[in-house]
Amino acid sequence: MDTAFPNWVYPLVFIAAFATSATAARLWIKLSLRIGLIDKPGPRKIHSTPIPLAGGLTVATGLLLPLILASGLAYSPLLSAPLSAITTYGFSARTTQLIGLILGALGMLILGLIDDRGALSAGKKFFAQLLIVAIVAGTGTRITLFIPNPTFSYVITFLWFLTLVNAFNFNDNMNGLCSGLGAISAVIFAIHSVLPGHYLVASLGFLVAGALIGFIPFNYPKAQTFLGDSGSHLVGFLIAALAILPHFHHDMQPNKIGVASPLLVLGMVLVDLTWVVSYRIWHRKPIYIGDTNHLSHQLVKRGFSPKIAVLILWILHGAIGASSFLLI
């Protein structure tokens, strides 16, 4: 379309998600305490009192309420004609994908909530994740890597989502770490989408970033609430999707190496996953059983406080992610 998308929409989307998430956090914390959705102290826990597991519900609210409002405004006469036309076109062009992503996000949230209420077996959790990703892949959010083979596309998409969902779940081991890494990734993916003018994907990236950053003050440095499995599953799913939606190979970026950009944007998440899985395999421990050998724990063992360890990993993650722009 000829009319340019107004850049002021991006900060507006971010602020809306941030404000909604920050407001919803207080409500969900109270409700979680009331219904017993809490993380109790234990041998492997550092907290001495029950902490509400309101993170997933908070982030989901920060995403869905602004998205519902935006969907309504897209067809509203209140918007100027050019902006309404552009927004309507964006929603129309990706309606099926958006429905699949919303269903997938809700599926991951519900799966995580069930696990938070009473731990699911690794097998059941994996099977549920597989079904959720099947819905998303079936509605058009898939990886191709320039290989015109539907079977390959589905397989690589399944591997991508399952890897990222569990990688972010692994990184939910210190206050603010998982949500911070997710927020940084979302911002970088959003900027990658702004550059070639993919305004709807960019808006989704800023929406995710705003919802996560609105939650962080309630989780870092001192936790009033935890993400829980509901939150870490949701964050991993959203970032996995944001890595697929932008077109890293396009007219402005004809070099196919650009499709490797997401690997850099997800730098510390993938480094930590590789380190932890390698460590557990080497020591013949089950991959799915948690331990205290993550990069964050390694920093604490070397004398850094948890607060500083998380900050260091945020900075490293941002620096590696920023290097992805060198590919374009």
pLDDT tens digits for 119-149?
778 888 999 999 999 999 999 888 887 787 8
Residue 95 located in a structural domain: yes
The two three-digit tokens of residue 181, written as one number: 């890494």
Residue 82 clears pLDDT 60, i.e. is over it: no
SS3 of the chain: the string is CCCCCCCCHHHHHHHHHHHHHHHHHHHHHHHHHHHCCEECCCCCCCCCCCEECCHHHHHHHHHHHHHHHHHHHHCCCCCCHHHHHHHHHHHHHCHHHHHHHHHHHHHHHHHHHHHHHCCCCHHHHHHHHHHHHHHHHHCCCCCCCCCCCHHHHHHHHHHHHHHHHHHHHHCCCCCCHHHHHHHHHHHHHHHHHHCCCCHHHHHHHHHHHHHHHHHHHHCCCCCCCCCHHHHHHHHHHHHHHHHHCCCCCECCECCHHHHHHHHHHCHHHHHHHHHHHHHHHHCCCCCCCCCCCCHHHHHHHCCCCHHHHHHHHHHHHHHHHHHHHHHC
Output the pLDDT for position 13.
92
Whole-structure pTM value: 0.91
Angle, vertex CA 190, rays to CA 185 and CA 196, nearest 5: 135
2 confidence band (pLDDT: 50, 70, 90): very low
Nearest residue to 63 via CA among 320, 221, 242, 199: 242
Output the pLDDT for position 1.
44
Residue 47 clears pLDDT 80, i.e. is over it: no
Distance of alpha carbon 129 from alpha carbon 234, whole angstroms? 11
Output the pLDDT for position 284.
82
pLDDT tens, residue by residue, 273-306: 999 999 899 888 887 777 888 999 999 999 999 9
Output the pLDDT for position 45.
59
Nearest residue to 119 via CA among 241, 290, 263: 290
The overall average pLDDT reported for the chain is: 87
The percent of residues above 90 in pLDDT, for the chain, comes to 62
Output the pLDDT for position 154.
93
Residue 159 located in a structural domain: yes
Residue 32 located in a structural domain: yes
Residue 3 located in a structural domain: no
Residue 58 located in a structural domain: yes
Averaged pLDDT, 96-112: 93
Q: What is the number of structural domains in the chain?
A: 1
pLDDT tens, residue by residue, 183-214: 999 999 999 988 887 888 899 999 999 999 99
Residue 280 located in a structural domain: yes
Output the pLDDT for position 297.
93
97 confidence band (pLDDT: 50, 70, 90): confident
Residue 3 clears pLDDT 70, i.e. is over it: no
Residue 182 located in a structural domain: yes
81 confidence band (pLDDT: 50, 70, 90): low
The two three-digit tokens of residue 88, written as one number: 């309507």
CB 322 within 8 A of CB 188: yes
Residue 105's domain spans which residues? 9-327
pLDDT tens, residue by residue, 218-257: 999 999 999 999 999 999 999 999 999 876 655 555 566 7
Residue 56 clears pLDDT 50, i.e. is over it: yes
96 confidence band (pLDDT: 50, 70, 90): confident
C-alpha dihedral sign at 66, 70, 76, 82: positive
Phi, psi of 51 (to 5 degrees): -115, 130
Output the pLDDT for position 15.
96
Residue 27 clears pLDDT 70, i.e. is over it: yes
pLDDT tens, residue by residue, 109-118: 999 999 998 7
Top pLDDT among 220 and 69 is at: 220
